Amino acid sequence: MAEVNPFSLSGTQYSQHWPSLISPDYWLNQGFIFATGQPKSAWRWNPGTTFLSTQRGVLSGVVIYLAMVFGGQIIMKKVPKPIRLKRITQAHNLLLTIISGFLLLAFMEQCLPAWRDKGFFYTICGSESWTQSMEVIYYLNYLTKWLEFVDTALLVLKKKKLEFLHYYHHSLTMVLCFEELLGRVSVAWIICSINLLVHVIMYYYYFLASCGKRVWWKEIVTTLQIVQFVVDLGLCYFCLYTHITFHAVVPLPSIGADCRGTRLAAYYGCVLLSSYLLLFVQFFIKTYIKGEKGGHLGFRAMNYDDLKSKKVAEKVEKTE
């Protein structure tokens, strides 16, 4: 029976912590009921059964994605003019802005009460902090990484130059989210949350740019991406060290507690995020400090042809 008062918490699911009107958990539950006829609590992540839950499927996705990048560029060289899908680009950017914001709020609804009641360490390392409700959000976040492949397809059609950072980041982040699901890495919630916050800002910037708006805070997005990886790495290395020292045969300085998650997922996350930090710092120096012509925001082309103005053209001429 529907709640009479949408601001009341009476009669809500065990995983709902906010009033129904503003609760991502409530709306996710309604979505599951509408799509499957069952509540969200009935869903389970089953590797090998759940959609896109096999290592073969993930590897195939990466291969197909890279084939799209390089094969698409070869094909588009033979096409006289770029294919500009302005409306689709706008819709894609706006959709990812909304999805990222919704999933960020979903993480906050689940994690902030746990942080308040049991402490921050519990949320990033506790064995019971990986709940079914959290797993649903992790899985949806993982699916968005497949959706972000559309970014690349749109750029290929526009004949935009793709930097190594672009397809490296897109393909391997999808793999990272998959490994976090397999490894049940508790600290992943804060890594995902920071990433979603950055994506809300970033995709909203792309949406404004695709609508012809000139935005002054483009450099801030790249700066936030770098800060994101610094924070991520600090947490990842802390959790990995905590896990290793807890299980070490030789006594090492330790806090005396374990951190949930497999070592494979932890090693992969630490190595990958370290490489991201180096590549984004390199990009920042090349684009904003050295001021190389043709630089683009983060890992995606920043300007669209239809946004070029006389002022921008004059600036380009000076750099040549």
Residue 318: what pLDDT?
40
Residue 297 has a CB neighbour count (10 Å cut-off) of 21
Q: Residue 38 phi/psi, 5° resolution?
A: -125, 155
Residue 90: what pLDDT?
95
Residue 72: what pLDDT?
94
Residue 214: what pLDDT?
85
Residue 298: what pLDDT?
37
Q: What is the SS3 assignment for 38? A: coil
Q: What is the pTM assigned to this prediction?
A: 0.85
* Burial of 24 from C-beta contacts in 10 A (0-12 / 13-18 / 19+): buried
35 DSSP assignment: H
Q: What is the pLDDT along the chain (320 residues), one digit of tens a residue?
A: 445 466 666 557 789 999 989 999 999 999 999 999 999 999 999 999 999 999 999 999 999 999 999 999 999 999 989 898 999 999 999 999 999 999 999 999 999 999 999 999 999 998 889 999 999 999 999 999 999 999 999 999 999 888 899 999 999 999 999 999 999 999 999 999 999 999 999 999 999 999 988 888 888 888 999 999 999 999 999 999 998 888 876 677 777 788 888 888 889 999 999 999 999 998 888 877 766 444 333 334 334 344 344 444 444 344 43
Residue 302: what pLDDT?
39
* Burial of 34 from C-beta contacts in 10 A (0-12 / 13-18 / 19+): exposed
Q: What is the SS3 assignment for 98? A: helix
- Single-letter amino acid code for the residue at 270: C
Q: How many helices, marked H, and strands, marked E, lie in the chain?
A: 11, 0
Biggest alpha carbon distance in the chain?
Answer: 67
Phi-psi region of 261 (alpha: psi -120 to 50; beta: other; left: phi over 0): left
